[in-house]
Structure 1
Amino acid sequence: MSPTFHKVSQFAVVSTEHLTIVLLITAGVFLFFIAIAVIKMYKLKAENKRLTDSDAFKAEVDESYKDFTDGHLYDNN
């Protein structure tokens, strides 16, 4: 075995303890981002429900519908 290969392989070896720590930190970061996304989803859902239940939205929906059957194409005399 050549001496350069031995030096390179010595630095390439990662202990399971170091790998476990890196994986736990990575999982923690992803769990943090998932928790933020879930919290934002519930806040947006609550805001959407509040806006949908408000009187301004109901008045806008009621005014937007117009009866189109009273036109000249239908005999509604």
Structure 2
Amino acid sequence: MSINLLSKALVVTTTQLTMILIAVASIFLVFIIIAIIKMYKLKSENKKLMQTNAFRDYEESGDELASGHLYGDN
């Protein structure tokens, strides 16, 4: 008798399953939208930084990244 009650408690109807799937899909959709917004913000910030004088000065100086202190070129 208890097995029969347990099996009835674990039965999920199609409507319940559909509602669960819609809720999970909605949560993932929100995460994807947030990620897309952050990507565009970072892209615009990167574009602004590329146009600043500091980046141009670095580019024109001819310094290479390999000459940094991490590589021990003292």
Shorter-chain-normalised TM-score: which range? Answer: 0.7 to 0.9
Q: What TM-score comes out, normalization by structure 2 length?
A: 0.79
Following the alignment from structure 1 to structure 2, what is the Cα–Cα distance between the partners of residues 8 and 56?
A: 68
Alignment of 1:6-17 (within 5 A): 6-17=4-15
Alignment of 1:1-77 (within 5 A): 3-63=1-61, 65=62
Gaps spanning 5+ residues in structure 1: where?
Answer: 67-77
**4+ long deviations beyond 6 Å:** none
Following the alignment from structure 1 to structure 2, what is the Cα–Cα distance between the partners of residues 26 and 49?
A: 35
Following the alignment from structure 1 to structure 2, what is the Cα–Cα distance between the partners of residues 5 and 51?
A: 66
Query: Offset at 1:59?
Result: 1.1
Could you tell me the percent identity over the aligned residues? Answer: 43
Structure of greater Rg: 1
Gaps spanning 5+ residues in structure 2: where?
Answer: 64-74
1:69 — aligned with what? none
Q: What TM-score comes out, normalization by structure 1 length?
A: 0.76
Query: RMSD of the TM alignment (CA)?
Result: 1.1
